[in-house]
Amino acid sequence: MSTGIRSQRGATLFIALVMLVLITLLATSALNSSTMSLKVVGNMQSRTEALNSAQQAIESVISSPQFIASPANAVINPCGAPNTICADITGNGTTDYTTRLNPAPACVAVRPVKVQELNLANAEDLGCASAQQQQFGVAGAASGDSLCGSTMWEITAETTGTTVPARVTVTQGVAVRISADDMATSCL
């Protein structure tokens, strides 16, 4: 009986070491998996912040008529270069994302609005129809054109992270009604 006990003393130690190695491998695998998941979530957050920064830049440009008059200087408060907007997402006073309008906003289509297309109950359309009863000396009156034109603009914003490696490009179209006088100068 003493020979059986001696042969089993080493087996317990070996099984304990195998179990310890398996637990260590399992813990290492869990650590690597959680680290990878954390990196994926961080990258998705950076991409979302960059996307939101680009969209905010486009919305601020669209809300100002300055991009129609001067597409090369469409941004009201640029940071540094023309058509560049800086965003501080973290609120620590440093720029986290830089958004450039590249290329500058461009008019891709223009057409005069016909008088028949106007809804005179709409204040904007009413301004396009004023003086349409008198056809002497009004440009476009004989052709049925109103005093307004419809333009289509394309605005592209490229956002780059300054502290994170995020890069997003957003392109958006917008229709803007302008006066017939401005159609020739704003949209070539």
**What confidence tens digit (pLDDT) does each residue in 42-66 have?**
999 999 999 999 999 899 888 887 8
Q: What is the pLDDT of residues 107-141, one digit of tens each?
A: 888 888 887 777 777 777 777 775 544 444 455 45
Q: For the chain, give the percent of residues with pLDDT over 70.
A: 87
Q: What is the pTM of this model?
A: 0.70
Q: How many CB atoms lie within 10 A of CB 184?
A: 10
Written as one string, the DSSP assignment of the chain is -HHHHHHHHHHHHHHHHHHHHHHHHHHHHHHHHHHHHHHHHHHHHHHHHHHHHHHHHHHHHHTSTHHHH-GGG--SS-SSSTTEEEE-SSSSSS--EEEEESSPPEEEEEEEEEGGG--TTSHHHHHHHTT-S--SS-TTTTTTEEEEEEEEEEEEEEEEESSS--EEEEEEEEEEEEEHHHHHHH--
Q: Count how many domains the chain has.
A: 1
Segments forming the whole domain that contains residue 168: 2-186
In the prediction, which pLDDT does 132 show? Answer: 47
Q: What is the pLDDT of residues 137-170, one digit of tens each?
A: 455 455 677 788 888 989 999 999 988 888 999 9
Average pLDDT, the chain: 82
